[in-house]
């Protein structure tokens, strides 16, 4: 094991990101929403003082709320916040807002803006309850963020017969901390409701809504409802839309100091190192049970790294055997291990997919297999030439040596895997590699073909993972964990924010479906550094499939799963349960397609998924809600929310499976 020596890397303080923008809030259907709220107001005002006091001590009711889109806020302390706040009646007279309920019972509705088509509909609905509220001794009041002239126009254009006041500086909205912002006001759901109301005959008054003083002083505020009186301090209830970002900010306040989170990570790293040592011994024993070199009659194929001379000798023996067969008049044939799906099995004791030992003949003298036998011979010839020269080539290079014979690169790639199985060596032992795809950044230093690479100095793009892992040496790190990221976009966010300096880690990604080099590199880091690996993938079936390839291998390369898999990866996020837990807005979630659902159900049937109860629960949640989301959905709370809140909170709570 390489020592994790402290590196000369500055621990940069996390940059303070912008305040998360208010997330869009879907308005509740007007008829249900305001009727419920108005009736709540009347019922509250009829309660006895003791009942009101008890209600303040209980969790606030949320009539008219939809999930996390609205909240019934505590009323304590609101009167003090509203002291000095004034609104204006239709004559232009300033009125302290607390006077509206000082001597009477009142339900005060706050409009979005005076020209809002939704508010006009709601005003009509409240007007229908005017008689009921008057009979109950309850005053009905409406306040809007606009000028007195706009308030007058609103009264003339609607059926609302209650009291109307203007708040041109939206001071009451600020004091009550109502949600605001363009994207909070104009949401897809609001747009659909506006279309519905237009069909009912309602119209938006654009000039009334978007005069300069409205647009710059409160035109994008959300409204709410306040129930109070008599008595200035006697505020019984307040209902207001809740921007998702307000909940995000509340999560930020739950974060403990970084030192506390780092202590948790050190404990995790220490436990991982101990577990790695014990599991290595157990794995070695289990592997011996399946290793062909120990037992030639083993039921499974397990390939291993071999040097160039060993692979060359094996190719020579294959060719000589074919030559003898031709000279004896039998033609030639290759015995190729079958890599059919039916031959791929999951072994729980090894926690990976392996290839069952079953061979099929590929004779040249058979019309059905003549071409494939020719391609196999050609690939063996090319690999032999590459090994003799001591160079490495890409799979693309190999394909272009004989395009007409191969026809398509997928055919030469498939035969290359067949050759690895036939020779019992890893594909990298053939000196044929894939193009660079994966990248790494963070608290890692290693030598690449003798050149020292410091991954803290690789910028936002990171260091490309070498396609030939054999040239990597001298791995050093003071990281506490490895963060495996599915996509390049999240990787760039983490790299730009220098997340690895705040929480010492190594961050790597294969930019989607993992390639062989990235899988080999991850396994090598895990084995040599004995660090825990935490994974950040999309909350969809494909994110889980990608994670499963890293953990227990792919069926396409099951013959090399011993070298390519990294067991014990912890699924950090984004998990299906996180969508509600972190209140990801509905407009940032995507409906699962029929194909998504099919893939999800297939995953539930996989043996390696059944072994993990947490995975099963998360997949069942995904299929039940039929919703998926990408990592970037967290950007709805702010572009740096991923690095400043979500991941730190996950690490603090040790919230992984």
Report the catalytic residues: 400
Residue 226: which of 212, 237, 241 has the closest Cα?
237
* Structure tokens belonging to residue 137: 């001794």
Which of 97, 88, 54, 64 has the alpha carbon at shortest distance from 229?
97
Q: Give dist(CA 573, CA 598) in Å, integer.
A: 22
Q: How many CB atoms lie within 10 A of CB 559?
A: 28
For 187, list phi and psi in degrees, rounded to 5: -105, 160
CA distances from 552 to 111, 209, 538 (A): 56, 58, 19
Retrieve residue 416's tokens: 């290359």
422 Cβ neighbours under 8 A, 6+ residues apart? 318, 334, 335, 336, 337
Question: Is residue 217 within 8 Å of residue 168, measured between CB atoms?
Answer: yes
**CA–CA gap between residue 128 and residue 107 (Å, rounded):** 14
**Residue 169, both tokens:** 């500086």
Q: Do 523 and 531 form a contact (C-beta atoms < 8 A)?
A: no
Q: Give me the residues paired with residue 485 across strands.
A: 509, 536
Distance, CA of 147 to chain centre: 44
Cα–Cα distance measured from residue 112 to residue 176, given in angstroms and rounded to the nearest whole number: 14
**Three-state SS sequence of 610-625:** HCCHHHHHHHHHHHHH
b/e code 245-280 from CB counts within 10 Å (16+ = b)? bbbbeebbeeeeebeebeeebeebbeebeeebeeee
Indicate the SS3 state at residue 196: helix
Measured CA to CA, the distance from residue 206 to residue 209 in angstroms comes to 5
- Cα-Cα-Cα-Cα torsion 410, 416, 418, 423, nearest 10 degrees, comes to 180
Tell me, rounded to whole angstroms, the distance of Cα 188 from its chain centroid. 22
């Amino acid at each position: 094991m390489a020592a994790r020596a402290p590196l000369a890397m500055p621990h940069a303080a996390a940059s303070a990101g912008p305040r998360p923008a208010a997330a869009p809030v879907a308005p509740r259907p007007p008829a249900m929403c305001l009727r419920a709220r108005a009736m709540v107001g009347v019922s509250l005002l009829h309660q006895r003082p003791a009942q009101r006091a008890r209600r303040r001590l209980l969790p606030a009711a949320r009539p008219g709320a939809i999930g996390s889109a609205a909240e019934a806020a505590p009323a304590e302390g609101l009167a003090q916040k509203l002291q000095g706040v004034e609104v204006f009646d239709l004559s232009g007279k300033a009125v302290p807002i607390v006077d509206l309920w000082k001597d009477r019972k009142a339900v005060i509705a706050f409009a979005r803006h005076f020209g809002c088509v939704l508010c006009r509909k709601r005003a009509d609905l409240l007007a229908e309850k005017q008689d009921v509220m008057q009979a109950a001794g309850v005053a009905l009041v409406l306040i809007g963020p606009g000028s007195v002239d706009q308030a007058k126009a609103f009264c003339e254009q609607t059926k609302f017969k209650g009291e109307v006041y203007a708040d041109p500086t939206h001071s009451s909205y600020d004091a009550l901390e109502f949600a605001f912002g363009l994207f909070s006001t104009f949401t897809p759901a609001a747009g659909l409701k506006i279309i519905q109301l237009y069909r009912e005959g309602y119209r938006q008054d654009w000039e009334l809504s978007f005069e300069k003083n409205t647009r710059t002083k409160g035109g994008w505020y959300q409204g709410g409802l306040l129930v109070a009186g008599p008595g200035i301090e006697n505020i019984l209830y307040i209902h207001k839309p809740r921007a998702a970002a307000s909940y995000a900010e509340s999560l930020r306040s739950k974060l403990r100091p970084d030192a506390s989170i780092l202590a948790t990570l050190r404990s995790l790293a220490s436990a991982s190192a101990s577990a790695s040592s014990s599991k290595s011994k157990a794995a070695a024993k289990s592997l011996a049970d399946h290793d062909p070199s120990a037992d030639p009659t083993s039921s499974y194929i397990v390939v291993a790294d071999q040097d160039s001379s060993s692979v060359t000798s094996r190719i020579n023996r294959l060719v000589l055997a074919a030559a003898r067969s031709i000279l004896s008049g039998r033609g030639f044939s290759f015995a190729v291990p079958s890599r059919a799906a039916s031959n791929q099995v999951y072994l729980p004791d090894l926690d990976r997919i392996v290839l069952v030992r079953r061979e099929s003949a590929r004779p040249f003298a058979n019309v059905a297999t003549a071409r494939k036998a020719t391609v196999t011979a050609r690939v063996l010839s090319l690999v032999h030439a590459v090994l003799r020269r001591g160079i490495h080539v890409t799979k693309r290079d190999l394909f272009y040596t004989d395009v007409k014979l191969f026809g398509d690169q997928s055919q030469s790639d498939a035969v290359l895997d067949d050759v690895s199985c036939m020779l019992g060596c890893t594909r990298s032992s053939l000196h044929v590699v894939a193009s660079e795809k994966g990248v790494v950044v963070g608290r890692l230093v290693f030598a690449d073909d003798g050149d020292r690479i410091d991954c803290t100095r690789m910028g936002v793009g990171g260091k490309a993972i070498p396609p030939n892992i054999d040239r990597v040496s001298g791995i050093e790190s003071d990281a506490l964990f490895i963060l495996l990221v599915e996509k390049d976009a999240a990787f760039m966010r983490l790299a730009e924010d220098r997340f690895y300096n705040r929480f010492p880690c190594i961050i790597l990604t294969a930019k989607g479906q993992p390639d062989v080099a990235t899988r080999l590199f991850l396994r090598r880091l895990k084995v040599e550094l004995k660090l825990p690996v935490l994974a950040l993938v999309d909350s969809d079936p494909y994110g889980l499939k990608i994670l499963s390839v890293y953990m227990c291998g792919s069926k396409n390369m099951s013959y090399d799963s011993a070298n390519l898999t990294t067991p014990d990866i912890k699924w950090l996020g984004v998990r299906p349960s996180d969508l509600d837990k972190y209140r990801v807005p509905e407009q940032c979630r995507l409906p699962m397609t029929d194909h998504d659902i099919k893939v999800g159900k297939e995953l539930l049937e996989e043996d390696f998924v059944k072994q993990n109860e947490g995975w099963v629960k998360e997949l069942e949640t995904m299929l039940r809600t039929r919703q998926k989301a990408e990592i970037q959905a967290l950007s709805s709370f702010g572009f740096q929310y991923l690095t400043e809140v979500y991941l730190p909170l996950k690490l603090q709570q040790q919230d992984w499976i």
